[in-house]
Structure 1
């Protein structure tokens, strides 16, 4: 095939368009305002699990966003109410069957909802977007602890790192030396290799209440975070939170990220002070979720590689 040609077929591009149109109709019907926030910002994400794509504009260092989350929360604090957008986001070092460095997220926020109510909203959106041939039955819901016990035989909230490593060894999975003292990294590896591929094989599956140590931007309830992920066909499609609204706690998490980045030799990232100022002003009670649109199109079309649902992936951009 000539290098200038798209990697997605016309039928797949038409499916993408119809699914995006259905999403827009769903959000219009449920009174969520469509917004448009900058892809290029002054602050990069501090999360150690995400790598920023840097740029230079007007002689100034800038970052392409990994998610529109911070900017959308500034709009929430300004009183915009329920909001959503579909946008391109950028993550360095992510290429493969399920990853392209540039991809499409659908992200939205609902006021007055917790993460359980937002799971139902995700389910309704997918029902509206999917073609009849891929209609889904009622979703399964498992706590993170139950999912890990069911599919890996571990207690994700109690078992120490040596037990997790032994479970990985039993499954024939190589554990890098750097992970031996990182319990959360071991849990992530177990989820990626032993648990995630078994989720959502017959119907959509929500995994909720992650360990508090994996809260990201979710609020905490004792040993767990009010966070969920959605899986279909063994693929993670969405990540959602009952959003943390406490500015002091959010700043503490960003500062902890900075210390961990330094410990790991990762480049320092400036904190997004405008986002933190918005939290100081007051973020309303809300939940939010980011849905990987390209992966959803893969599941809907039966594609086996993300290139099959993109007009021009990274290698042809």
Structure 2
């Protein structure tokens, strides 16, 4: 079976070099991080799972672009599928079918700009826990970061001159962060439009988040947790009033993890899904809602970056896109 992969067209403004670390040492670091993560979840009675990388479905989030993959079966019939951007919906199928605590360490693929923090192919850690909410997800994520720091013999994370204490956390609502760093409540749409010069609430939110809030957060010398996003930016998280039960975790200004209290009903997902979405997942939801659960996705390579002080993602992966 022949498979062709289309990652689109990219231009490189500069070469992204590696630091002088041997391939053997890099492989040892990656193995240490993987084994530490597996030990962490084993102690919490999680089951490691495998789900398909190749799927007929696209990511339903317009902001996440799939890598296309075409293949033929033995009869010559051609298929145009996609490499997954996340194992999310296959893992949620497992939750509906009765799984309770599951995690996965896997390669994922996302089409788009290649940057010092992004690669078309990267490694993700994703986990789900039945009967828990995003508060548990925050606790687990912070505990995992501390454990990984201990395994690497460091209590600090580093990125381009920024330092964060892995043993301490600054936990802020998104509204608190906007008030502190963008001089406005995140719910004051009119003021956000004025401050940003943008024409839509969404554009204003993300511009100020990147230019003001995340810049301010990068100077906090602790692990930072942002939680309770405006409901408009909750993705697939549970909505409570004006906020979505979603969180993101930063170390030294680098976004490391993203988690939710998960939406549970067919109606909620059907409203969010667009285009070529996972119809079988929706069929399962019609029969049984997703159990109340928390879910977290963590960037393995980015975590390794801040643990080892790397400046670029190419420094912590054995073969970058440029080297293929």
- Count residues with an aligned counterpart: 289
For 2:173, which of 143, 151, 159 is the aligned residue?
143
Which runs of 5 or more residues in structure 2 are unaligned?
A: 1-14, 73-77, 157-165
TM norm structure 1? 0.87
For 1:57, which of 71, 77, 88 is the aligned residue?
71
* 1:316 lines up with 2:285 in the alignment: no
Inter-partner Cα distance in structure 2 for 1:110 and 1:241: 11
Aligned to 1:265: none
For 1:42, which of 39, 56, 77 is the aligned residue?
56
* 1:167 lines up with 2:188 in the alignment: no
1:14 shift after superposition: 1.8
Inter-partner Cα distance in structure 2 for 1:17 and 1:193: 35
Aligned to 2:129: 110
Q: Deviations over 1:121-168 (max 9, x none)?
A: 1111111112222351221110000011111111111232xx324424
Aligned to 2:160: none
Inter-partner Cα distance in structure 2 for 1:84 and 1:94: 28
Inter-partner Cα distance in structure 2 for 1:68 and 1:94: 21
1:189 shift after superposition: 1.6
Inter-partner Cα distance in structure 2 for 1:275 and 1:61: 20
Contact 2:26 2:318 in 1 (8 A): no
Aligned to 1:303: 310
Inter-partner Cα distance in structure 2 for 1:133 and 1:222: 40
1:1-317 pair list within 5 angstroms? 9-10=22-23, 11-58=25-72, 59-130=78-149, 131-135=152-156, 136-160=166-190, 163-168=191-196, 180-199=198-217, 201-254=220-273, 258=274, 269-280=275-286, 281-317=288-324
1:6 shift after superposition: 7.9
More strand by percentage:
2
Q: Deviations over 1:158-186 (max 9, x none)?
A: 232xx3244246xxxxxxxxxx3321122
Contact 1:12 1:301 in 2 (8 A): no
Contact 2:155 2:167 in 1 (8 A): no
Q: Cα RMSD (Å) of the superposition?
A: 1.8
Inter-partner Cα distance in structure 2 for 1:313 and 1:278: 38
1:12 shift after superposition: 3.2
1:282 shift after superposition: 2.7
Q: Deviations over 1:259-306 (max 9, x none)?
A: xxxxxxxxxx31211111232223111000000111111100111111
Q: Deviations over 1:197-218 (max 9, x none)?
A: 3325411111000000011100
Q: Secondary structure at the match of 2:208?
A: helix
**CA 1:218–1:47: 2 relative to 1, 3 Å:** same
